[in-house]
A and B are shown apart, each in its own frame.
Chain A
Amino acid sequence: MRLGRFFNTTAFRLSAIYLAGFSVFAVLFVVYISYATDQLLARQLRETIDTEIRSLAEQAGTGGIGAVVAGVDRRSRRPGASLYLIVDVTGRIVAGNIAEVPAAVLDRADEEPFTVGYVREEGETAERLAMVRVVSMPGGLTMLVGRDIAERERFREIIGQSIAWGAALLLVLGAISWFFVSRRVLSRIDSVSATSRRIMDGDLSGRLEVTGSGDEFDRLAASLNAMLERIEGLMHGLKEVSDNIAHDLKTPLTRLRNRVESTLGGSDDPAAYRAALESTIEDADQLIRVFNALLIIAQVEAGTPDKAGERVDVAEIVRDVAELYEPAAESAGGELTAQADGPLFVRGNRELIGQAIANLIDNALKYGSRDGEESAGAHVAVAAGREGDRIVITVADDGPGIAAKDRERVLERFVRLEESRSAPGSGLGLSLVAAVARLHGGEIALLDNLPRGLRVVLRLPALVEAA
């Protein structure tokens, strides 16, 4: 089973193709080299033979046939691979160091050098191979000059064997490295599959192994881990939301249902019915509001920054929204001041940024009033300005502020601090602001306002104007 899977891997197939290609090229290379060498040796042989024939012909010119015969006789006695033979018309050997050649060979005078079998000494049984050239000479004599080519044959044999051994070695080594490479790749992939199976089974905290080698597998594992990180975060958020929905929506729904039930079971007074129905509508409206806020947050969170919209002037939005809330602040005994000199352009959605600023102002007005002094409303200062490449929107109040430990938490959905539970609200306002900030590639920070109060800072990337 395991072996079958092994043969089925990409690593196996790739290295098989590689090995086959490499072997073919290696064999072609060796064949070419040996062929070329063989050709070279053959040419050298022919040249050597020709040179000897020429020098013997010169001897014939100066000293006649007798000198040639003497010369051949002398050369024949030297040890070496050179072969000579002179026969007369009857086929009798006049001089030379060859015992026997096929008779037909001597008829092939004046041909190009050719290969022939011969017997060196009388009584030898093994036939040897030689390259020879035959020339006819005056006086009916025929002369054969040649060289034994046993050496060349041995060379050929060696090359042939080398090719065989080399190919065998190549195959073995290739197969071995191939096995190890595939196994390494396979084990990494196996670990990836095993981890993903574990994660699929529900253990979202699982992460792929990063060996630190920085290779493709590490990079792949790192990106997958980043993806898992995000999924885990989203799942965590989702779980939190469903828990919160269960609590924050079930409670008012239960209240609503109970009220209707008790009204039905109570007196038949039309006024009581009317009152109950009116508060039912009120409750339903509040529920719808929470749903809408949740949907907007979900939609904003699913968005991508580049989708966020067109060029909008934050200063104008800040002035508009502040103006919208100013009478409400004043009627509550507080004060709302706005300081926004524009234009301050960002790429974004006017509606969402407006809603974010409205939520911040609404929060400041609701929770920013000085505790203990019922009549005194919140003093809220809204400002917008530019800091480097960021547009900074600040909403500050002089209320009790938020303890440092709670500041991260209040950005989460449905989180309402104990101190503010009595005031109306859904606990979604800041979550939406945070989501809008994220959508626009910005961030939100909750800081202390000096000497007292909370200062919420919303930073959005300023739109870089093309010059």
Chain B
Amino acid sequence: MRILIIEDDRETATYLTKALREAGHVADHAADGESGADMAAEGGYDVIVADRMLPKRDGLAIVSDLRKEGDETPVLILSALGQVDDRVAGLRAGGDDYLAKPYAFSELLARVEALARRRRPGEADTMYRVGDLELDRLSHTVTRAGKPIPLQPREFRLLEYLMKHAGHVVTRTMLLENVWDYHFDPQTNVIDVHVSRLRSKIDKGFAEPLLQTVRGSGYIIRDASR
């Protein structure tokens, strides 16, 4: 997919462009707010990654200008300011996600890809399928190989989020943000324990494990046999 990076720090920009290209994406770079806004306005990008503090024009202004023009390209805002108020300001300006510096590249990649997927049709699917695992979003039921699996409400939401992004890595913080709606750093392995509980419910007794841990990044649910 095509990604625009608006970032004034040359080293960070080079690193991001290179890493995104290695991940199989097309990455363009703008070094200041003005050229970034021009490139974003030309369109054609799947996701825009914008630093919040930029020379000439700040990231939030670029986003709100895009939204005023009716451009709905997903924007991930990067910021050295990572506090609650800043996040709210970023999202209010029209940003779709907010990532505080410093971040792990795997986190940024997972979020960029999740943002790009959000635009694709299929959002309204009522049924998610991964291998023989099925999740019905309307009746709130989960079955594997036709056998019903009882889940707690939170476990259901966790699985729903993972399956929505089936085949893609989701990070721990993405889970905390989207399943629990908290943005703080839980410091301990709380998310891992939730995931392993879920895993024991959906994978135990089946030959093919669907929910896998991606070392250093997070989790992925996929049908590895295909």
Contacts and interface: CB of A to CB of B under 8 A. Distances in A.
Interface stretch (B113-121, B122-130, B189-197): B189-197
Contacts, number: 54
A423 B207 CA distance: 38
Interface residues of B, number: 23
A181 interface: no
A201 B188 CA distance: 46
The winner among A320, A349, A351, A362 for most chain B CB atoms within 10 A is A351
B19 interface: no
Contact of A328 (B83, B104, B185, B193): B193
Contacts of A328: 188-190, 193
B188 A365 contact: yes
A331 B188 CA distance: 12
B82 interface: yes
A360 interface: no
A425 B84 CA distance: 22
B175 to A, nearest CB: 11
B100 A292 contact: yes
B102 interface: yes
A346 to B, nearest CB: 16
B188 A296 contact: no
Interface string B80-94: 001111000000000
A321 B184 CA distance: 11
A324 B196 CA distance: 13
Contact of B184 (A284, A323, A358): A358
Nearest to A278: B216
Interface string A326-342: 01101100000000000
B204 to A, nearest CB: 16
B82 A327 contact: no
A50 to B, nearest CB: 95
A328 B196 CA distance: 10
The winner among A296, A325, A328, A425 for most chain B CB atoms within 10 A is A328
B57 interface: no
Contact of B83 (A295, A331, A358): A295
A366 B196 CA distance: 20
B55 interface: no
Contact of A354 (B184, B190, B193, B196): B184
Interface of B: 82-85, 100, 102, 104, 154, 176, 180, 182-190, 193-194, 196-197
Interface of A: 284-285, 288-289, 292, 295-296, 299, 320-321, 323-325, 327-328, 330-331, 349, 351-352, 354-355, 358, 362, 365-366, 425
